Amino acid sequence: MSEEYHSCLVSRLSRFVTLTDQECDFIAEMESDEHPRRRGRPIVRVGDRTEGIAILKSGWAVVKADSSDGRSQILRVYLPGEVMGMTEIGSSHANHRIVMQTDGIICPFPRQGLAPLFSDYPRLGALLAAVGSLDQIALRHHASSLGSMSATGKLKFWLLQLRSRLEVANIGLGNRFQVPFSQVEIGQAVGLTSIYVNKLLRRFVDNGEIEIDRPYVRLLKRADWEEECEFVNAFVNMDTSWFPPAIGLETTGEADLAERK
């Protein structure tokens, strides 16, 4: 594979194993059909027939649910390099709408094209399944925070989790990361009004807990927040011991050595 080729998905998956050239080539094939999308444009509408998955090659997207009174709730945030639709692969129709949160590029990939993951690239298939399971764990942690934490805790937990997920794809610089959301949209993600979100953010700034340079946020007391929220980073410890061996392994990286032990 060309050394000039860059993929956020490759970067994300490489956090857990050393990908082979063949695996990277297959990912490049998955990302070959590029479709630019502008902010606010729908990717999937409720009831649309789903033909497969889509890789968010660049940009951010959100999953939204709309109530009968016109209010919206953000159920999930998709980040660059994440796969949309993998956990819903068994459903023939979309149950929620997905909208671009920023300008970006999506790469649709048909269901039938996934067959080689199980026959030719079983380790890559296992890796994608494992990453998807960690995503689901993170979503459950988020749902738990909404039901059990104070308003302050909900917002702190959401920012902590966003930072940890961006770190997986090597996006962002330590405790400084992009948050391309309005205060209304942050409220939709954490179940608060925009007025309350504004109040909390100003309090965090006044207390020296964060710095805001829109659209960037810097966490100044991350360790304190993690202890306060009992934050668990779902992406730290992935069990790769059960993965099948990589076909065509040409390099021996630390992750591959760990898998053989």
With beta carbons less than 8 A apart as the criterion, state whether 183 and 201 touch: yes
CATH 2.60.120.10 fits 8-246, yes or no: yes
pLDDT in tens, the chain (261 residues): 444 557 999 999 999 999 999 999 999 999 999 999 999 999 999 999 988 999 999 999 999 998 878 789 999 999 999 999 988 888 889 989 999 999 999 999 999 999 999 999 999 999 999 999 999 999 999 999 999 999 999 999 999 999 999 998 777 668 999 999 999 999 999 999 999 999 999 999 999 999 999 999 999 999 999 999 999 999 988 999 999 999 766 444 444 444 433
Instruction: Collapse the DSSP code of 213 into the 3-class scheme (helix H, G, I; strand E, B; otherwise coil) and give the result.
Output: strand
Distances (CA, A) of 208 to 131, 149, 202, 221: 34, 22, 10, 8
With beta carbons less than 8 A apart as the criterion, state whether 255 and 240 touch: yes
Domain residue ranges of the chain, discontinuous segments joined by +: 8-246
Strand pairing class (35-37; 61-66): unpaired
